[in-house]
Structure 1
Amino acid sequence: MSKKFIFVIIVWVVWHLSIGAMPVERNAFARLFDNARLYSETCPAEKVFLQFDNTSYYQGDSIWIKAYVVDVSKDSLSQISRPLYIELLDQLGNVVDRRIVKLSNGEGTCCIPLSNAFFTGYFEVRAFTKWMLGFNNSCFSKVILVYNKRKNLQEPRTIASYGLDNSMNKRPIEKVPSLLMRFFPEGGQLVKGIPSMVAFETESKDSGLVDIKGMLCDENGKAMTPITSLHNGIGSFMYCPGDKLSYVQVEYKGKEYQFFQPMAVDSGYVMHVDNRDSVLELSVCRRSTIQNEPIALFVFSKSVPLLYHELYFKDNNSISLHINTKGLSAGVCHVLLVNSTGKVICDRPCFIYSSKRVNSLISTDKSIYKPYEKITCKLKFTDEDNKPIRNARLSMSVRNDILSDYKEYDNDVATEFALTSELRGYVESPHYYLIDKNVNRRRQLDNLLLVRAVGKYDYSSIYSSNNLPKYKPEDRLELTGQVKSLFGKLQKNLNTSFVLRKDSNYYAGMITTDSTGSFKVPIDNLEGVAETFIQTKKDGKQNNRWANVLLSRNFAPTLRSFDFQETHPVWDNILINKKSIMAVDSVYNKSLADNAIILDDVVVLGKKKLNVNNFTKIFNRNLIGYYDVRRFIDNERDEGREIMDVPDLLEKLNDNIHVNISYYSDADTSAYNSNHSDAITYRNMPITFYVNGQKVGFLFIKNDVDKIKSLCLYKDNTGNNDDVYNISGNNMTRKQQTDYWSGIELNNEHDINSINDVVICSITTDEDWDAERKNGRTRGIRHTFVQGYSAPVEFHSPQYEPEKINASDKRRTLYWNPNLCTDNNGEVTVDLYNSSNTSSVLIDAVLYDKNEFYNVGYDSYSRYLFHEDK
């Protein structure tokens, strides 16, 4: 045997003996760290940020969006997912629109027209990849305000109030008492006899988060420490718990309230962190714990493990140590106290400030612009060494200053990826916490983290090596699903053919289901929505097979409740000198008057127009529900639940609708009067049916559920009203009732049912619907609509020639370009034109360069400039 081989054996034996001599617990932390690192590498999380062209909208506007998706583990634009799902939901939680954006290197664009936004109010835009939903139901979410249409600028901005019933109330509502105070001990727990910092958050029912002053009292009511919130209802105080509960006493609106502290445990650990410029100063204290219990500190950044350090108390009850932050990623990190089984004992979030900055110089050729006037914007970006940032990607919005809503310190790409995406709930004006690094601001940010960042991640799943996300990443768009029999049995080896019709083009193919009855069809080249027919047939059989085709496309985040501040926004005045703008506007209007041609006096005779706003308000109050039938039926069938006919649909949509089957099962469909007034009722009130604005008996629409696009229910309390509401997109009109068959205008003299009409069911169908044609289900064929990628749309920026201006331009977003790029000097120059209102302009831009995001904003009048780092 060679000496070299003997030496290798000796080294191998000594090395394994040394490992065996180590305490088992020391190896446990190494395994936990390896599992967490493996999890972060194999399951890298994604985050989304959406940049909008504006902050609020009107019915009929379009929402222009630039999407950024990042890979958290690499801190760069993501290459994981290709489809990005963007949904627009109304205030109640109904999906108004859904778009699928095709990502390229983590970027994509989208346009959502509000032409079908039936409701106004507080809409939610949320964005997610399918991969994201496997991680704590995470997604990007933002509430935007959609106003009613205005006839002119003098008309006040409004949103509608609706008299909807409980069938439309889907979004959860968090009930808050008159005043509520929540306590958050640093690290997560209080231990008797150990001083701890306790953060708190105070919320009221009628004002949201409120600042308070109060007193910490012991169990006997003796005053101990005065407390006060530092910012937006959040603050902190030091507290040493004893055997009995202490409480905080505060006064709010003339009433006194008492809030008791959380119960302290008899034994355990308390962790305290001081966040300095380049170091985290930690102290860990214990009381009555198991002697020499194995404990370690783990540091995570955005669910990615960075380091771990084992703690040895020996005979001491406290340990102090420092962690250098120079190697940590900018943003929120979590310092965890963990035992050998992976259980998190303490969780302490901290914020790491970025050392990188961008210098931005933005200018416009004027401060105030007259209507239709040309505007030139110049942007220049340099790094911390004043070198130009070349070939950096830029998305940019320019909007009318006077007509736009503005909120100072609002959320942006920098605060989203570094801060707000790491927190629970809504954060009002998050950039406020990153304006500077003074002591007071640091403390406010630290309190925010203690209140909102704890519990963001499920570290038990990260430490477990076999706990994988629910969904797999999507590198292309696919139509996936399963085929089951009518009794729920999986149909394997079943021929499944697909025919997609988009405009006048047809796409066809066939696939055989696998052993689980599943199939996948790539549709990565599909744009828009295609009408689809899915046929199921057993090999060798002549007839189609009766089967249910269940499509896997109903994944989405759960509905969340709205925060008070989200539905009660306070817009800021950004130093606009309105007197100066009015003066410019006055001079401009005078110049137009001087050049005007004076016509002879004429008298114009005409009918007085109906007050559209009044009957729209009446309709809103009487509205029972508005339903996207096509989406609802598709969702039901994707889950294996069938919709048989219109009465079945109505009962599933609204629990208050009752169908008396005996009245219509054997009725003579050839006669109009075969419909009984109480065959279908809403809370014992008869329902009358209108299809595309014309009156029909429900028997003629009974089996045509696949042809219905949407329907609304509303009360008609006038009793003998000859008009019917006509709904098209977000437009509301009234017109004379007509009979579907004869086209004759209806009135109370010849329409026997009009006097009893109380509830109207107004149905909108496909254009090719025909009451005399069979529109029912076909054996073995699933009819549906498949959504592909949203087709890119170009923003229209008109160019005006002063001598040829003859336009009414009400644009509030004057310019939108999601795909700009800086030149070799780090500059971008943009020319655009003002709309028909004198104003200054607001510029909002997102810059991406070398894995770093920056947000810049500018107001052309006040020269107010701010910039934000990641």
Structure 2
Amino acid sequence: MKHSRLPAAWAAALALVLLLTAFRRPADDGFIQRLQAQLTRFYTATYPEKAYLHLDKGIYAAGETLWFKAYLVDAAQHQPDTLSRVLYVDLLTPENKVLTQRILALRRGTAPGDIDLDAGLAPGTYTVRAYTSWMRNAGAGYFFQRPITVLAAGRVSRLPAAAPLTGLDVQFFPEGGQLVAGLASTVALKATGAYGEGVEVSGEVQDDQGTPVVSFRSQRLGMGRFQFTPEAGRQYKAVLRQPASSRSSYALPAAQPTGFAMQVLDMDTYFQLAVQRRALAPAAEPITLVAQVRGQLAYAAQGVMKDANAFVVRVPKDKFPAGIAHFTLFDGQNRARCERLVFVHTAPDLRLTLQPDQASYGPRDKITVRIAATDAAGRPVAGQFSLAVNNAALVPADSGATDIRTYLLLDSDLRGRVETPGSYFANNLPATRQALDNLLLTQGWRRFVWPDLLAGRLGTRPYPLEQSLSLSGLVLGNKKVPAPGATVTLFRLGAEKDVAQATTDSTGRFLFSNFDGRDTARLMVQAAPAKGLRNPVIQLDRLIPEVVTLPVRPLTPDSEVQAAYLKGSRRQIAQQQQYQARGKSILLDNVTVKANRPLPPDPRRIYGRADAVVATKDIVASATYTNVLQLLQGRVPGVLITGTPNDMHARIRGINTINTSNEALYVLDGIPIDASRLTSIIVQDVATVEVLKSSSAAIFGARAGTGVISILTRQGAPEYGYSGGEADRGLLGYALPNFQPVREFYVPAYGDKSTPATDYRSATLYWNPDVRTDAAGQASVSFYASDETGPFQLMLEGLTDTGQAGRSTAGFRVAAAR
């Protein structure tokens, strides 16, 4: 994007003095050295991470499996992470409740995974998010999040309609951070609707006397810019002409009487920065300009500023790595006064090619795809990749969607949701670069605050960096304050009876780690009373962090496309289950669920009759389940289990709808208990889990209006001490979850005895999360076409061993046999 001239006000200032050499590169400057040292310290101490998931597609039907490949990198260099080795993946409902959680063991920063979508899921826009324990220290705003569309199984879905324009919001952002009276400024605008999507607007800026000052119009996705010079003592507002809405005017930020204004122009091979100042006194002031990309200081210079002068400096782009660069201006007291984000375009470091061996195939033909990976110079590179092959008619390609390169270089370093991020990488045309620059003028953020960084305040990090599964928490003492120096004992129950101890740190926190994650660990955690610590209370860290999501407009595919998708989905689900039943993968055991029949006499069973009964003796390896609700999940029609293994909840579905507001009543050996007590019940000691719907549960009164989950232990309540009284908070039971086992996507090998009579793979024909190029940069994968015909698309994503991200697409057709 070239700019042939500066605004008139800037040009007038430059006529006084144009100092392209006014900034100097310091050979030895204390402030810049300190700044560089603190940036290095921040990224070394906080070690920020980025997670990314490559999904097999973006639209699913209830009952299908969502397949994904997880990638974890360090946030500075984007190299595959070698520190955190545990990744959490959550599926959130349209109401932003955690439906299920997967815990993955990372190897070289990657891991395959999958999520079974319950056949009873309501249609809507769900969200998949991924994060590590360490990432929780920075907040949920740094988690990877991607919306997906889920259609109701077996029928065309009617998703929620778009919200009306009453949700319109318009914000204005002065370039550099503030308006200064008498100084020309660029102001960016961003208009969004109820779902956070861009809305095109136009209008004019007026002063406090109603005098028009400048007109404006958004350029793309509700974003644009205009230039004007605010006058001292005036207030300004933007008045909309289009679209018509309930609110038509928005106040602009107030102009400050003194300060700095900074403008950055993209001049192809370099960035041109211009700085102006207005101060109460005319004295010269030293200033410092720095530019950093993900903590790497790419440029630093200093100069002396006078009000009459506008300083201009050219910064070559070849000094920067690809991604978002932060330009920051510091005043004479080393305070950050202006900041501007720009995007540095470089040639892709990774070039991927996908080449099917033919352009067209017949049903059940063997398809071989050759993959080549090279760097920008054409040298072969080794890397880890994942490949999805979809029916292009059922899963249309979305060129604007997030991919691994757009996420690492753009989405993950911006505040809020980026709409159609892929569109900014589609080409290098001036209009596209202008649109990207407008985005950076409106949605910038930093992982640190300059005053805290320069003062060495790096914040607290209560959540551990996990190289294995861990258990952490807090001990509270008298008056509910953290108890440093407290002794915490961990008892591991079962065949491997272990005892370990830890001492809480200065903030009262403790950590136990090195759990292998292969089997569910049954634990007891105890905080011992001591002098000055009479009644210790343990608070374990929850596995589910806060949910911070943005509204997403529901995607409603064409009804004909939905019908075709669902038809293929039903057949593919049935085929996948047959494949799993043959032992090729993991499937819920076939369990006989006794329904609505008289039960043996038991004094704890005051209801006499249940709508469904699940007996643990009928479930192979029932002891490997974390808790009784996980054991129940997916086994009883109409029972919806949500949450993670250590924070699950049950709701019982009615005939037509699922009541999402009220939870089932939990009863242990005839005594109602709170949901928080479920994790302390050892599954091995449970005989049956029984479901009572509204009529059967009437004996429990109004509390059971939404149904009852009744848990009967083998030995009865007296053995467990569940009397309904207050639990000893200094002694907690806990079932540590295990890693998700790796499952395999079903791909028939034609010619062997497992060949199906009919191959119904439709929406997702092939999924391979483990494609690796060798030292020659080569890889090859083979699979078979199904009986479905039409166009198919391939999408390959991944990382090299040195952290270069890439994506490549290709296509082929399957034609009916003649």
TM-score, normalised by the number of residues in structure 2: 0.73
Unmatched 5+ stretches in structure 1: 1-22, 162-173, 540-544, 583-622, 635-653, 658-681, 683-688, 711-725, 729-733, 740-750, 863-870
CA contact (8 A) 2:351 2:806 kept: no
Q: Aligned partners of 1:484, 1:92: CA distance in 2, in Å?
A: 33
The residue type paired with residue 232 of structure 1 is: L
Q: Is residue 2:193 matched to residue 1:204? A: yes
Q: Aligned partners of 2:169, 2:95: CA distance in 1, in Å?
A: 25
Q: Which of the residues 156, 160, 178 maps onto 1:189?
A: 178
> C-alpha displacement at 1:180, in angstroms?
2.5
Q: Aligned partners of 1:494, 1:116: CA distance in 2, in Å?
A: 47
The residue type paired with residue 748 of structure 2 is: P
> C-alpha displacement at 1:446, in angstroms?
0.7
> Aligned to 1:294, what secondary structure does the other structure show?
strand
1:364 match: 356
Q: Aligned partners of 2:703, 2:470: CA distance in 1, in Å?
A: 46
Cα-to-partner distance string for 1:315-339 (whole Å, 9 max, x where unaligned)? 7431111112212111001100113
CA contact (8 A) 1:202 1:210 kept: yes
Q: Which of the residues 534, 541, 547 maps onto 1:552?
A: 541
2:573 match: none
Q: Is residue 2:203 matched to residue 1:214? A: yes
Structure 2 CA distance for partners of 1:253 and 1:341, relative to 1, 3 Å: closer
Q: Which of the residues 129, 133, 137 maps onto 1:134?
A: 137
The residue type paired with residue 303 of structure 2 is: L
Q: Aligned partners of 1:515, 1:825: CA distance in 2, in Å?
A: 50
1:311 match: 303
1:860 match: 812
1:55 match: 58
Q: Aligned partners of 1:120, 1:385: CA distance in 2, in Å?
A: 47
Q: Aligned partners of 2:73, 2:168: CA distance in 1, in Å?
A: 39
The residue type paired with residue 709 of structure 2 is: T
Structure 2 CA distance for partners of 1:116 and 1:265, relative to 1, 3 Å: same
1:89 match: 92
> C-alpha displacement at 1:553, in angstroms?
4.2
> C-alpha displacement at 1:269, in angstroms?
0.6
> C-alpha displacement at 1:239, in angstroms?
1.1
The structure having more radius of gyration, on CA atoms, is 1
> Aligned to 1:308, what secondary structure does the other structure show?
strand
Q: Which of the residues 764, 777, 789 maps onto 1:838?
A: 789
Q: Aligned partners of 2:743, 2:752: CA distance in 1, in Å?
A: 28
Q: Is residue 2:317 matched to residue 1:325? A: yes
CA contact (8 A) 2:124 2:554 kept: no
Q: Aligned partners of 2:690, 2:295: CA distance in 1, in Å?
A: 48
1:448 match: 439
Q: Aligned partners of 2:524, 2:63: CA distance in 1, in Å?
A: 32
CA contact (8 A) 2:170 2:189 kept: yes
Cα-to-partner distance string for 1:103-142 (whole Å, 9 max, x where unaligned)? 2332223222224985542222222223323335543332
> Aligned to 1:797, what secondary structure does the other structure show?
coil
> C-alpha displacement at 1:451, in angstroms?
0.5
Structure 2 CA distance for partners of 1:759 and 1:478, relative to 1, 3 Å: closer
CA contact (8 A) 2:238 2:250 kept: yes
> C-alpha displacement at 1:820, in angstroms?
1.4
> Aligned to 1:326, what secondary structure does the other structure show?
helix
1:761 match: 706
Q: Aligned partners of 1:262, 1:493: CA distance in 2, in Å?
A: 51
Q: Aligned partners of 2:326, 2:360: CA distance in 1, in Å?
A: 47
Structure 2 CA distance for partners of 1:500 and 1:230, relative to 1, 3 Å: farther
Q: Aligned partners of 1:656, 1:338: CA distance in 2, in Å?
A: 52
Percent sequence identity over aligned pairs: 23
Q: How does 1:785-800 map to 2 (within 5 A)?
A: 785-800=735-750
Q: Aligned partners of 1:345, 1:497: CA distance in 2, in Å?
A: 51
Q: Aligned partners of 2:696, 2:660: CA distance in 1, in Å?
A: 30
The residue type paired with residue 708 of structure 2 is: I
Give RMSD over aligned pairs: 4.4
Structure 2 CA distance for partners of 1:43 and 1:183, relative to 1, 3 Å: same
CA contact (8 A) 1:476 1:524 kept: yes
The residue type paired with residue 262 of structure 2 is: M
Structure 2 CA distance for partners of 1:470 and 1:116, relative to 1, 3 Å: farther
Q: Which of the residues 408, 411, 418 maps onto 1:417?
A: 408
1:509 match: 499
> Aligned to 2:318, what secondary structure does the other structure show?
coil
Q: Which of the residues 417, 422, 432 maps onto 2:423?
A: 432
Structure 2 CA distance for partners of 1:355 and 1:85, relative to 1, 3 Å: same
CA contact (8 A) 2:278 2:307 kept: no
> C-alpha displacement at 1:524, in angstroms?
3.5
Q: Aligned partners of 2:58, 2:499: CA distance in 1, in Å?
A: 44
Q: Aligned partners of 1:537, 1:179: CA distance in 2, in Å?
A: 56
> Aligned to 1:425, what secondary structure does the other structure show?
coil
Cα-to-partner distance string for 1:46-88 (whole Å, 9 max, x where unaligned)? 2121111221222222222222222233342222322222222
The residue type paired with residue 550 of structure 2 is: F
Q: Which of the residues 817, 822, 829 maps onto 2:768?
A: 817
> C-alpha displacement at 1:775, in angstroms?
4.7
The residue type paired with residue 510 of structure 1 is: A
Q: How does 1:26-425 map to 2 (within 5 A)?
A: 27-115=30-118, 119-135=122-138, 137-151=140-154, 155-158=155-158, 177-205=166-194, 208-242=197-231, 243-254=233-244, 257-290=248-281, 291-314=283-306, 316-365=308-357, 372-387=364-379, 389-425=380-416
CA contact (8 A) 1:148 1:160 kept: no
TM-score, normalised by the number of residues in structure 1: 0.69
Q: Aligned partners of 2:810, 2:498: CA distance in 1, in Å?
A: 52
The residue type paired with residue 501 of structure 2 is: I
Structure 1, 446-455 or 829-838: larger mean CA deviation: 829-838
2:654 match: none
Structure 1, 814-823 or 490-499: larger mean CA deviation: 490-499
Unmatched 5+ stretches in structure 2: 1-25, 569-637, 650-658, 681-688
Q: Aligned partners of 2:763, 2:709: CA distance in 1, in Å?
A: 32
Structure 2 CA distance for partners of 1:633 and 1:259, relative to 1, 3 Å: closer
The residue type paired with residue 787 of structure 1 is: P
Q: Aligned partners of 2:139, 2:644: CA distance in 1, in Å?
A: 30
> Aligned to 2:83, what secondary structure does the other structure show?
coil
Q: Is residue 2:441 matched to residue 1:496? A: no
Cα-to-partner distance string for 1:422-480 (whole Å, 9 max, x where unaligned)? 11111111121122222222211111100111566422332222434424533443223
Structure 2 CA distance for partners of 1:529 and 1:815, relative to 1, 3 Å: farther
Q: How does 1:778-789 map to 2 (within 5 A)?
A: 781-789=731-739
Structure 2 CA distance for partners of 1:390 and 1:434, relative to 1, 3 Å: closer
Structure 2 CA distance for partners of 1:370 and 1:149, relative to 1, 3 Å: farther
> Aligned to 1:414, what secondary structure does the other structure show?
helix
> C-alpha displacement at 1:345, in angstroms?
0.8
1:744 match: none
CA contact (8 A) 2:101 2:644 kept: no
The residue type paired with residue 375 of structure 1 is: I
Q: Aligned partners of 2:43, 2:644: CA distance in 1, in Å?
A: 41
The residue type paired with residue 370 of structure 2 is: K
> C-alpha displacement at 1:33, in angstroms?
3.7
Structure 2 CA distance for partners of 1:738 and 1:486, relative to 1, 3 Å: farther
CA contact (8 A) 1:424 1:456 kept: no
CA contact (8 A) 1:370 1:837 kept: no
1:461 match: 452
1:702 match: 672
The residue type paired with residue 741 of structure 2 is: A
CA contact (8 A) 1:300 1:306 kept: yes
Structure 2 CA distance for partners of 1:34 and 1:246, relative to 1, 3 Å: same
CA contact (8 A) 2:279 2:307 kept: no
2:597 match: none
1:17 match: none
> Aligned to 1:840, what secondary structure does the other structure show?
strand
